[in-house]
A and B are shown apart, each in its own frame.
Chain A
């Protein structure tokens, strides 16, 4: 029996990695008048649907997917959220 899951994946830079794009955005925010904003870091958001026999299996697959492709473990961390897609087939 297989289920469909909707995954929301967040890929973020490791804290030790310089983020010049984040610094540029922060500078832009400062020019807009937001002097109360600090530590801007820019990451990636990926959505996908995955079919698996169980939520645990889906999580195992997603870990591999993130490790192999979606995130570069040298410079990025990842986390994801899974939701069962309603009306999934048997």
Chain B
């Protein structure tokens, strides 16, 4: 069982992810340089946060063309798991592994805060450690986190249950007042139709170590790694 954390020039949350999967959960983990072309040894790919390629042109626009991304797409097509956090989410939408796009925050400010998130479903490996409808708090740190998709795509996402996390109030209220960046439908994290690719703007890896005062994020990693270890794969289309 091996986790691979992709590193682009400008990625800066890679070590935090390695700390969680290797340091806290004792899982075999390696860093994958963006020019690598063989990730056949990896079971779970994580694309971490940061400012890959300086966010030049658009966040993630250039990173999606790195050699490793061709392999990540193949990896996802085989039903294996891919997690994109923050810039990683942006890379996944640019690469077409997830629908929609991440745009400039509604109020233009870079938001560095801890926000409540509603967990929409608990049957997938990503959220099986959380209760459906439960509220967790995770740190966010982004300037371009406003999720956008056209009306047709949004309807599809909602109907298919592809929205996993929504920005909400402390009691789970999903409304504009509790939408820090203006994302449509308060979307904070979505998965693809099969459920093996997850992209989210908040940082679960920054809320995993008890030393940092919040461990709401470790459930995502624990649930995912447990299911993968048990041999869970999603059906290949």
Residues of A within 8 A of B (CB): 16-18, 20-21, 24, 44, 69-70, 72, 74-75
A20's partner among B57, B58, B99, B107 (CB-CB below 8 A) is B107
- Counting CB contacts under 8 A, is B65 at the interface? yes
Residue ID in chain B nearest A73 by CB atoms = B101
Residue ID in chain A nearest B101 by CB atoms = A74
B 90-110 binary contact with A (CB < 8 Å = 1; else 0)? 000110000111011111100
CA distance A72 to B148 in the complex (A): 12
Q: Cβ of A16 and Cβ of B150 under 8 Å apart?
A: yes
Q: How large is the interface on B (under 10, 10 to 19, 20 to 34, 35 or more residues)?
A: 20 to 34
Q: Cβ of A69 and Cβ of B61 under 8 Å apart?
A: yes
- Counting CB contacts under 8 A, is B182 at the interface? yes
Q: Is the interface of B mostly helix, strand, loop or mixed?
A: loop
CB-defined contacts of A21 to chain B, threshold 8 Å: 104, 108
A-B contact pairs, 27 of them (CB 8 A): A17-B148, A18-B103, A18-B148, A20-B104, A20-B105, A20-B107, A20-B108, A20-B182, A21-B104, A21-B108, A24-B108, A44-B57, A69-B57, A69-B65, A70-B57, A72-B58, A72-B61, A72-B94, A72-B101, A74-B93, A74-B99, A74-B100, A74-B101, A74-B148, A74-B149, A74-B150, A75-B103
CA distance A70 to B107 in the complex (A): 25
CB-defined contacts of B99 to chain A, threshold 8 Å: 74
Residue ID in chain B nearest A13 by CB atoms = B103
B148's partner among A44, A69, A70, A75 (CB-CB below 8 A) is A75
> Can you name 8 extra interface pairs (CB under 8 A) apart from A18-B106, A18-B182?
A17-B103, A18-B146, A20-B107, A24-B108, A70-B57, A72-B58, A74-B99, A74-B100
CB-defined contacts of B65 to chain A, threshold 8 Å: 69
Considering only residues 51-110 of chain B, those with a C-beta below 8 Å from chain A are: 57-58, 61-62, 65, 93-94, 99-101, 103-108
CB-defined contacts of B108 to chain A, threshold 8 Å: 20-21, 24
CA distance A75 to B90 in the complex (A): 13
